[in-house]
Amino acid sequence: MDILDKIIAQKRIELQTRKEAVSLEVLESQIFENTSKRSLKKSLLAAEVPIISEFKRKSPSKGFINEHARVADIIPAYAKAGAAGISVLTDEKFFGGSLKDLKDARSFTDIPLLRKDFIIDEYQLYVAKTVGADVILLIAAALTKEQTLRLSQKAKELRLEVLLELHDEIELDHINEYVDLIGINNRNLKTFSVDLEASVKLLEKLPKDRIRISESGISSPQTVSDLMKAGFQGFLMGENFIKTSSPGVSLQAFIKEVKDLL
């Protein structure tokens, strides 16, 4: 089994446990309406430097990045620094996250929040809504075309925006009418190797009416500047900021450097 296969197998086990503990009917009763209508799409389009900064403690490829990261310290700092959105890892076993991290993050900011996890079941969409997510991630490599369509449609019913992550041209058929944003992951989820050229190769094949995001392996202001000029409208950045002693300060400095290059 490769890394992605192991994560999905673990996710199925966790899902069964969660469903036995809290029924879908209970989750439905806990859903609150998003009266503020937070939109990652709109936030990215309005930002001069459209960065989605990430909160995560570790990764399968590198182990702990910031083991003692605290939501109360980092989320407000990201918002103040100018993040267009914030991605919160909710996978516990492989990324050191939790649903509590996302729920707490919601209490510290009103900018759009992405639940970043390995979503394979509609149940996870209801959970995302109850803890305050505005956007959910669907990973094409972990889903069939039909599963992607079903989950995207349900997400829209729950008033969640959909970020569809692609890595290869063969996954383009996963794009459907309910997808709001399309991310190209520069990191291969089966091997965790990084290839920044993946973004450029796939860019021209993406629909022009969707927000196009480059994900993973980005650490240079020059790279962001170049990709913005090429047509990307957002950048999902994980380790670059969270690994520093002051993630918010690092994000603010990064944004300034990109502005100077534009």
Contact 216, 239 (CB under 8 A): no
Reported as a single tens digit per residue, the pLDDT across 166-218 is 988 999 999 999 999 999 988 776 666 777 777 788 999 999 999 999 998 89
- Distance from C-alpha of 250 to C-alpha of 260, rounded to nearest angstrom: 16
Q: What is the mean pLDDT of residues 110-120?
A: 97
Count how many Cα atoms sit within 13 Å of the Cα of residue 185 in the half-sphere of its side chain. Answer: 21
Read off the DSSP letter of residue 89. E
- Distance from C-alpha of 232 to C-alpha of 195, rounded to nearest angstrom: 16
In terms of Cβ atoms closer than 10 Å to its own Cβ (0-12, 13-18, 19+), residue 209 is exposed
Q: What is the mean pLDDT of residues 15-26?
A: 94
Q: 36 pLDDT band (50/70/90 cuts)?
A: low
pLDDT at 189: 66
**CA-based nearest residue to 129, from 108, 150, 99:** 99
Which residue matches tokens 């925006």? 161
96 dihedral zone (left: phi>0; alpha: psi -120 to 50; beta): left
Using only the alpha carbons of the chain, give its radius of gyration: 17
Q: 33 pLDDT band (50/70/90 cuts)?
A: low
pLDDT at 44 over 70: yes
- Distance from C-alpha of 231 to C-alpha of 246, rounded to nearest angstrom: 30
Assign 220 to helix, strand or coil.
coil
pTM to 2 decimal places:
0.94
Long-range contacts of 186-193 (CB under 8 A, 24+ apart): 186/214, 186/215, 186/216, 186/217, 186/218, 187/215, 187/216, 187/217, 189/3, 189/4, 189/139, 189/141, 189/142, 190/2, 190/3, 190/4, 190/5, 190/141, 191/2, 191/3, 192/3, 192/59, 192/60, 192/61
pLDDT at 18 over 90: yes
Average pLDDT across the chain, whole number: 93
pLDDT at 7 over 60: yes
- In single-letter form, the type of residue at position 52 comes to I
Phi/psi of residue 76, nearest 5 degrees: -60, -35
Reported as a single tens digit per residue, the pLDDT across 53-106 is 999 999 888 899 999 999 999 999 999 999 999 999 999 999 999 999 999 999
Q: Which positions are annotated as active-site residues?
A: 54, 56, 116, 165, 185, 215-216
